[in-house]
Each structure stands twice: as structure tokens, then as C-alpha cells.
A and B are shown apart, each in its own frame.
Chain A
Amino acid sequence: MSEEFKIEIVNPEKSFLVKDDVSEVVVPAYEGEMGILKDHISIISFLKPGIIKILSKSGDESYYIEDGIVEFKSNNLSILTSSIFNIADMDKSKQQDLLKQAEEESGKEEISDQSRYLIDQKIEVLKTLN
């Protein structure tokens, strides 16, 4: 049973989650969803808004994430993010809040194409959560 690796999610305030019995993680990387299994090649990538799925022995979890960086090295997966929410703890009103915020932002004129893309992505993900 050595198909497990370690994951650590940190946000600026604290170490958000540490688990060492993870069998697979799916992250919304910038160029598409990426599944990470044990012995994946070392990689650095950044994330777009989406859902992180963590499959582990002690139960599966999913998190909604707005941005971040993912680094995988020698079976250690670190995810740095400034905004992450556990979907199990998220209620409808919180989702609505985030959605409203994102929609407001996308209504602005002066944002760049890249950030517009990210915001549209965010809105889409939030809508699927509902």
C-alpha cells in the first residue's frame, strides 16, 4: 500500500490542511484539470478558480479555490492559495456572495483579458456549485 503521498495546503494565515494518506488529487491547473498520482514528475503550476478534489483513505474531500500555486516534489504536494473554502462547509448564501462579487467585478470595463478570463471561470465554477 505505498500508493499514497502527502498533501499540504497552506494559506497566508495558517497551514490549512495536511494529509499523508492521499491517493489522488485533482487540481484545476491553468491549462486544464490535472490529476496527480504518486510518483508524478516534479511540477510547478498555478491554479485557476475551480475545485480541488482530494481522494484519500480517510475520505474524499473537495475544496473550492480561487487562485494558487501548486508544487509537487518527491511525493510532496504543496498548494499555496490565498482563498480556499471547504465545499462541505459552504452554504448557499456564501456561494451567492462570492458569485455576486465575481459578477460585479466582471461588469467592470477596465480589467485585462487575463483577469476577465479568470473571473468568467470563477463565475462558471460557482454556478455549477449551486
Chain B
Amino acid sequence: MASLDDLKKRIASVKSTQKITKAMKMVAAAKLRKAQESAEKGRPYSEKMNNVILNLLNGISDKENAPKLLLGTGDDKVHLCVVMTSDRGLCGGFNSNIIKKAKNYFSKILSDGKELKIITVGSKGNDQLKRMYGDKIIENISFKESKNANYFDADKVGKIVIDKFENSEFDICTIFYNQFKNVITQIPQAQQIIPLNSEDSEDNTSEESYEFEPDKDEILSNLLPKNISTQIFKAMLENSASEQGSRMSAMDNATRNAGEMVDKLTIQYNRSRQAAITKELIEIISGAESL
């Protein structure tokens, strides 16, 4: 059995761990509010962008000649997967959930005999994937310096993806991220961005005809690269809100567990203290009796 001193030390160490997790929880809660706010504020942009594109699509008569970003290359041999994770750990199942989802997808692709290329955004994803898919990772991007998700970073990723598409390095691009539902639930998502999946978006376009300046094709070819950056940005915003939410609930759990542990250890400490006192008393009394 651990001595009184050891128990005391353990209680102190668990208590200080608890303090840290509590502080982290509060920091995450504050950051979560901010991240959630910016995720909400960012929504109108991507929604409007989507609307404009849908309106344009309705107006296009000649679907054969539409830009390749929209239709894809017509092949599906090479898959590019952009896996978006966080740069920091201690956020519960946040990163592992994305990785799990991505790994399932990867093994499906590979068993279909297709080629796989991976871009990781965020260092944690890279750490977890490089063991199994190290040779498949073609790029590793990390935005450790940026405090918040910003469009500039998203645009950088978008440009890389588009560059690779134009060099015909892949046929289909999918992004993996966590969608923020609430603090407890984050849903890992796989979203195909090239070719654009317009079928699953609701049909809320009007029949009204537009005037286009310059012509539709040119607008579309200008708009689609922007849309990719926008989608990536949206994923980044969702991801950062999810990260903070996940960290908050993980740290909340950790704080609670530490509390339970402190209680248990305290009981143990008190018991052994009492046992020691009783033992001493018995020794004194039996010593006195023998005289």
C-alpha cells in the first residue's frame, strides 16, 4: 500500500492536472464562441456563391463544353483527398474521427484499383496518416501561425488543388473535415468538390433568366476556382468550430475524471491516516498493558 506521503503527492499532482484541464476547457469555450460566430458569418458567402453557380448551371445549354472543373475529366482513376485536421492535440476524438473516415475511403479506393493522392492540412492528420499512407501524401500544409481560419489560407489550399487539377494530376477531389453540429457532436464529412456535385444541393433557383456579362462560360470558369476556395474555407471554419467544441467536451470530461480521482485518493488517504493513528494507539495501549 502506498504510503501517506505518496498519496499526498498523487493528490497534488492530479489536482494540478485538473487545474490545467479546467483552464483549457475555459479557453476552448471562449474560442468556440468565436469560431462558431465566424462559421455563421461565413455562411452567407458560400450560400450565395452556391446560388449563383446553380443559376448559371440552369442557364447553360451546352453542357458538353462546360469547364472541366464542373464536369470532371470524365475519368475517375486518380483520387485526390484533402484531409483537414487540427494542428494541436488534446481535442478528444476530433482528429481520429476524420482520419477514420478518410482511411475507410482510402481503402475503398485502393481496393478498387484506383490511384490515391493525399494532401493533409494540419499537422495532426499528417502524423497519423504518414505511417500507413506515407508514400501517398504529396503535400502537407499547416497553418500553425494563423490564429483563426482565414480566407487567405483557404485560398492557398484552393490554388494548390486547382494547379494540380490543371496539370491533370487527378480526376476527383474530395475534402474531409468535421462538420460542427453542437459541442458534443461533430460529424466527419467527405465532400466531393471536383467535379462539382450539384445534385445534392436543393433546387432553390428561380426560373428567372439572367443577363450575363461577359458570357456564361467565362463567368463560370472564373467562378469555379473561387468556389473551390470557398468550399475549403467553409470546411476550415466548420473544422475550427468542431475542434474547439471537441476540445471543450474532452477537457470537461478530463476535469470531471480528475475530480473523481481526487475524491477517491482523498478517501484512501484519510483511511490510511486513520489506520496509522489506530495502529499507533494500539501500540501505545498494548505497551502500557504489558507493564
Q: Which residues of A contact B (CB under 8 A)?
A: 8, 10-15, 29-31, 34, 41-46, 69, 71, 73-74, 78, 80, 82
A12 touches B219 (CB 8 A): no
A14 touches B42 (CB 8 A): yes
Residue in B46, B48, B150 whose CB lies within 8 Å of A71: B48
Residue in A11, A13, A29, A43 whose CB lies within 8 Å of B210: A43
B7: shortest Cβ distance to chain A, in Å?
A: 52
Of B49-57, B69-77, B101-109, B173-181, the stretch lying at the interface with chain A is B49-57
A43 touches B151 (CB 8 A): no
Q: Contacts of B230 on A, CB cut-off 8 Å?
A: 12
Greatest chain B CB density within 10 A among A12, A46, A69, A71 is at A12
In the complex, B98 has a CB within 8 A of chain A = no
Known: A42-B210, A45-B212, A73-B206. A12 touches B52 (CB 8 A): no
Interface of B is mostly: helix
A41 touches B206 (CB 8 A): no
A46 touches B45 (CB 8 A): no
Residue in B56, B155, B214 whose CB lies within 8 Å of A82: B155
A10 touches B48 (CB 8 A): yes
A12 touches B209 (CB 8 A): no
Known: A12-B45, A15-B44, A80-B49. A44 touches B155 (CB 8 A): no
B208 touches A73 (CB 8 A): yes
The contact string, 1 if C-beta is below 8 Å from chain A, for chain B 197-232, is 000000000101111111000010011001001100
A82 touches B151 (CB 8 A): yes
Residue in B212, B226, B229 whose CB lies within 8 Å of A44: B212
A43 touches B211 (CB 8 A): yes
A44: shortest Cβ distance to chain B, in Å?
A: 5
In the complex, B41 has a CB within 8 A of chain A = yes
Known: A15-B41, A45-B219, A46-B223. A29 touches B213 (CB 8 A): yes
Q: Contacts of A43 on B, CB cut-off 8 Å?
A: 210-213
Known: A10-B45, A14-B38, A69-B223. A80 touches B151 (CB 8 A): no
12 A-B residue pairings within 8 Å (CB atoms) = A14-B41, A15-B41, A34-B213, A42-B208, A42-B209, A42-B211, A43-B213, A45-B213, A45-B219, A46-B222, A71-B55, A82-B155
Interface residues of B in 207-263 (CB under 8 A from A): 208-214, 219, 222-223, 226, 229-230, 233
B212: shortest Cβ distance to chain A, in Å?
A: 6
With both beta carbons as reference points, the residue of chain A lying nearest to B212 in the complex is identified as A44
- Complex CA gap A8/B38 in Å reads 18
- Complex CA gap A45/B219 in Å reads 7
With both beta carbons as reference points, the residue of chain A lying nearest to B208 in the complex is identified as A42
Q: Contacts of A29 on B, CB cut-off 8 Å?
A: 213
Interface residues of B in 21-80 (CB under 8 A from A): 38, 41-42, 44-46, 48-49, 51-52, 55-56
In the complex, B154 has a CB within 8 A of chain A = yes
Q: Contacts of A8 on B, CB cut-off 8 Å?
A: 44
Residue in A12, A15, A41 whose CB lies within 8 Å of B154: A12
